Amino acid sequence: MVFRSDHPDIEPLDLPIHEAVLGDLNGRAHLPALVDGVTGTALTYAELAEATRRTAAGLAAAGVRPGDVVALYSPNSIAYPVALYAASRAGAVVTTVSSLATPGELAGQLRDSRARWIVTIAAFLPTAAAAAAELAAEGHPIAEIVVCDRAPGHRSLADLAAAGAEDPAPMIDPARDLAVLPYSSGTTGLPKGVMLTHRSLASNLAQTDAVHATEPGERILAVLPFFHIYGMTALLNQPLRSGSTVVVLPRFDLEQFLRTIQEQRIEGVFVAPPIVLALAKHPLVDQYDLSSVRYVLSAAAPLDADLAAAAARRLGLPRILQGYGMTELSPVTHVVSLDDPNPPPGTVGRMVPSTELRVVALDDPASDLPAGESGELLFRGPQVMKGYFGRQSETDAMIDDDGWLHTGDVGYVDERGYLFVVDRVKELIKYKGYQVAPAELEALLLTHPEIADAAVVGVTGEDGTERPKAYVVRTPGSALTGAQVEEYVAAQVAPYKKVRAVEFLDAVPKSASGKILRRELRGRPRTASAEPI
């Protein structure tokens, strides 16, 4: 069966993304749009729009042409959206780069995206210069490296804005032209450029408005990385479209995060599960006044219902909200609404307008499943990506002939239309024919008082059988053993779900958006464990 949203359909929003966000400043020009959470420097909406316009003119005068790809390689700052929207206004495509990228990784993305320009910060210049040199040696030189701040020998965004060039007026077809080219691994494999048009991004904002929209003047904390589609949408595009005030932090540091909430009287907090874990368990939380927070919304990775409830109790909130999406979906399909009186624990919410969902059997993708049964999630709607840049075969594998995008996520819809995401198709562990969801075991492990964090992956033994292995971070001072971990899990799950091996780590490797990097765990050298695998 096909599940559909309860909300009325929206008309696709055919606007360039910079216009969808900053096109109408009526009533909000004087409001603060962005605040630097470290220095206190602020930009009003009028100042942001003017800086965007003048910087776009400077980029065009420097040689940026419609369709050119600009690599935005920077941590969060109040200059980041200026660069993002200015490039869009100049008709360019922005490929956002992880601020943790190595020279080789940056060079790879520059090469793959065919970027001709880099916008970065002074501290990142050595990496940017090394990557540019690698491309130059291959005969594909970068036109210019521009900095968001100041650096000798490089023009800054302020220099471009001060040039007084003519405002560009590129012809942009929102339905066809790309706005951004973020990179995602999709259901599997190496990162690929996700082609998101102006229409898909703008339409997804209109879709999400029906379920969760921030308010004019509402103070939002932006600590998740802007280079990730979650941060770009939830912390820039949507709140700036709504007239909210975005308080920006360059990275996540728990003490700074808590202090900023207290000092800036933050109302809306968008996070990933690792931050929810800290809010639920870390002793620092009790040292700060977080009473201004009206809601916390978590997305980007599965969040256990019990962990969410623990964090909500500690913050005095009725619940931690959740949302679901992926880069290839621009990114939102589901959100728990702030005014929903009774969402079931663990749900990622109800569907946004103009969206269709199918749940198909894992062993028979042609078979649709009814409510209550788990399978792979397939979506169709205006937010679906155009495809993977330069990878038609991988696009065809992701989006079928009928326009359904195959997410690789496993989940089910309950009788009330709420979605629950169980795990990833590729991450399910097959133990003697049984399917074991790592996320379920991870959630259980986190209920142990001496476990600070945990991850579970499937490891294949000499007999060819895949078994669940837990990677565990102990709380300070804990002497927890592997045998005790296995016993704790075994007492609460079916026999086939038992953890069969345990390894202790200082930290679970995670991406900037909070996803567990299972590939790194699988690639670790095998160590002695409580039970041989």
List the beta bridge partners of residue 410.
376, 423
Identify the CATH number of the domain in which residue 363 sits: 3.40.50.12780
Residue with tokens 């709504």: 242
User: How far apart are alpha carbons 314 and 382 in whole angstroms?
Assistant: 39
Residue 423, domain member (yes or no): yes
In a domain, 224, yes or no: yes
* Residues 383 and 406 occupy one common structural domain: yes
What local confidence, expressed as pLDDT, does residue 533 receive? 41
pLDDT for residue 433: 64
State which of 400, 427, 454 marks the end of a domain.
427
Residues 256 and 317 in one domain: yes
The reply to whether 69 falls in a domain is no
What pLDDT is attached to residue 363? 86
Same-domain check for residues 205 and 328 = yes
* CATH number assigned to the domain comprising residue 486: 3.30.300.30
417 and 456 co-located in one domain? no
Query: Residue 400 falls within a domain, yes or no?
Result: yes
Q: Are strands 219-222 and 268-271 parallel, antiparallel or unpaired?
A: parallel
Q: How far is 441 from 498, CA to CA, in rounded Å?
A: 9
Residues 303 and 230 occupy one common structural domain: yes
| 357 and 398 inside one domain | yes
Residues 6+ apart with CB under 8 A from 389: 112, 113, 181, 192, 193, 194, 195
439 and 376 part of one domain: no
Its pTM stands at: 0.86
Q: What is the pLDDT of residue 187?
A: 53
Distance CA 326, CA 300 (A): 8
In a domain, 488, yes or no: yes
Q: What is the CA radius of gyration of the chain?
A: 23
In a domain, 90, yes or no: no
- Among 427, 454, 469, where does a domain finish? 427
Domain C-terminal end among 393, 427, 461: 427
> Which pLDDT value is given to residue 531?
41
The total number of structural domains in the chain stands at 2
**Per the domain annotation, does 476 fall within a domain?**
yes
Q: What pLDDT, on a 0 to 100 scale, did the predictor assign at position 523?
A: 77
Do 377 and 484 fall into the same domain? no
Q: What is the residue range of 339's domain?
A: 1-16+199-427
pLDDT in tens, 265-283: 999 999 988 899 999 999 9
Residues in the chain, pLDDT under 70? 185-189, 433, 435, 463-464, 526-533
Residue 424: its pLDDT value, please? 78
Q: Check whether residue 392 and residue 371 sit in a common domain.
A: yes
- Same domain flag for 385 and 251: yes
Q: What is the pLDDT of residue 91?
A: 98
Strands, sheet with 245-248, edge to edge from the N-terminal-most edge strand: 42-44, 32-36, 245-248, 219-222, 268-271, 295-298, 321-325, 332-335, 350-351
